[in-house]
Structures are given as C-alpha cells and as structure tokens.
Amino acid sequence: MNSNNNTKDVASMSAARNPSKTAPAVTQRDGFDLIPTTPIVWDVSVDRNPTTGKVWSDITYSKSTQDAAARIAFNRASKLHAFRPTTIREIQHALEDATEDPAIAVIVITSNTNDQEYTPAFCAGGDQTVRSDGGGYQDGTETLPKLRVLDLQVQMRRCPKPIMAVVRGYAVGGGHILHMLCDLTLASTETAVFGQTGPRMGSFDAGYGSVHAADLVGQKRARELWFLCRYYNAEQAQAMGLINAHYPDVELDGRTAQWVRRMVMNSPTALACCKAALNAGQDGAAGIAQMGGELTRLFYLSKESQEGRQAFLEKRAPQFRSKL
C-alpha cells in the first residue's frame, strides 16, 4: 500500500531546494510543509464487522489504499455519538482489524458529523439512557454488568500503530478520555469543545481518565478538569496540552492527511517501540511487558536468537558466540 509521491523523503526534497550553506527556514527543515494536504480518499468501505459478519450499527469503518490509513468513525449523530456497549464492541473489532492489517500504518478515530441536522460532536461519552442501576451500561448485549470502554482503553494503548483523534464538536466525558488516549489529537478551531462531565452526573474515571489527564496537563489542571467540569475550546485545549493542533474546519481534513502521510513515511517498528516506551511509565508492569514484547520481537530477527531456535530443533548445543 504505497502512497505514490506522498512517500518520498520530503526532508531530502527540502534540502535539495536549499543547496546553500544557509539553513532553510525552520518550517522547511523537516519537509513537513511540503507534504500534500489533499484530503485522504477512503476508497475501501468495510461495510461489515470482520469479527461478526454483521453490518455496523454504531460506527463506520473505511481504509485508504493510497495513504495506508484506517478510519473508524462514531456514527450516532442523534446521540452526539455517545457510546453504548454495542458501540464500544464495534470499535474494538474495527481497531483489531486495522491493527492486524499489514497495509495499515495509521489509524484515525473521528465521527460522522452532520452540522445541519445535529449538534457537532466527536463523542459525548457514555450513553446515559442505557446506564444501568446494576453497574455498567446495558443495551441488551451484555450478559454481566461491565464498563466495556475500559477494555477499549487498554486495547488502544497496546495497539502498536499510531492512533490519531480528529475532533469536530463535543469531546466530553468518556469521549474526552478516548481522545486523550489517542496518541495524537487534531481539532476543529471553530467547533471543538473539550471537558469532563462525570462528577455532574454521578460518574468518574479513576484510571486513565485521571492519571493520563494529569500526565498531559499537570496535576493542577487535571484537578480543574475533574473538579470544575468546565468546557474548553480548541485554542485553550492546545495551550493546556490536551491536543496537538487545531485548524479551521475547512482545512481539518487536509491537515489530517498531512499528519497521517508524515507518520506513514516513518519506520513502523520504530513508531511501535516509541509508543510502547512512552506508555510504559504509566502502564506499570503491563506497559513494561508491552515494551519488552516489542524488543523480544526484534530480537527474534537476530542471528543470535535464530541460532537458539535452530539448535533446539536440531537437538544440539547452541553456538551463540559465532552469531554475534
């Protein structure tokens, strides 16, 4: 899945255009500004859940052959894309498929917005109409009370590929936590709204929603997020460290493409190891295990490791030193 001219080393292109010893402008040194901003063409529509074979009910899932990307979009606009167990299960299945697809390098999580009919939203968190008195959420698909979104949070952390949230409208409550757990977040300057709502409706997230928020914005700001339940626009969110960048809404799709294309140019193994290392400090033993797993996988590629396997299969003593 090559992306034609998009996969050229644009840093080298920039250097070629500046042959003098004088350093180019800072914005040109890494070649980022040379990456095309034409919106991604999502030419492969995955209409059925690859796990269950059923048609999606709460999300849409598509891929780009040219740009090596997958797009998972909330599709409950009438509910401000609030999630229920079915929604989370579908996102998990789509995320698993994108993770296992060798042709996919970057995963985008966003929403399908219709500004004329519904209030723009990325995700308004858990659907309170299916929140049960028995704990968790129940839409008729759960056999036991469960907060299924917690499993999705862990899955996102363990996915070796970059996950980028693209936010239009409200990213609040559990939706705010999901965007924070994405590796990167881009937002609409005009419509994006960020904030926590749980304590106003008898809910909270004592896991990633609190710990990761403090890691992103600091202890004082994280406590402000949770204790005051205020809303912040895109400019404020970027200043706090909640998001990476915001762009005018008409530019957002093009800028999303630009960020995706830059990541596609980079080594996928290096990105996977970086992500595991960045997560390890927060994720304790599980994070260290994930990072260790990536290192083990790389070690399997070495002649030293392969000598150990071959010696076992041939029932002989390994000659490790000869393979260094």
| Structure tokens that stand for 38 in this block | 């034409």
Please report which confidence band the pLDDT of residue 14 belongs to, taking 50, 70 and 90 as the band edges: very low
Comma-separated ranges of CATH 1.10.12 domains in the chain = 270-323
CATH number of 35-266: 3.90.226.10
pTM: 0.84
Q: Is the pLDDT of residue 242 over 90?
A: yes
Q: Is the pLDDT of residue 181 over 50?
A: yes
pLDDT of residue 144: 66
Q: Which of residues 250 and 306 earns the better pLDDT score?
A: 250
| DSSP 8-class letter at 24 | P
pLDDT of residue 203: 83
pLDDT of residue 12: 46
Q: Is the pLDDT of residue 169 over 80?
A: yes
Comma-separated ranges of CATH 3.90.226.10 domains in the chain = 35-266
CATH class of the structural domain 270-323 = mainly alpha
Residue in 83, 86, 75, 82 with CA at minimum distance from that of residue 114: 75
| DSSP 8-class letter at 137 | B
Distance CA 55, CA 41 (A): 22
CB-based contact 93:49 (threshold 8 Å) = yes
pLDDT tens, position by position, 88-129: 999 999 999 999 999 999 999 999 986 667 889 999 988 777
Distance CA 277, CA 255 (A): 27
| DSSP 8-class letter at 55 | B
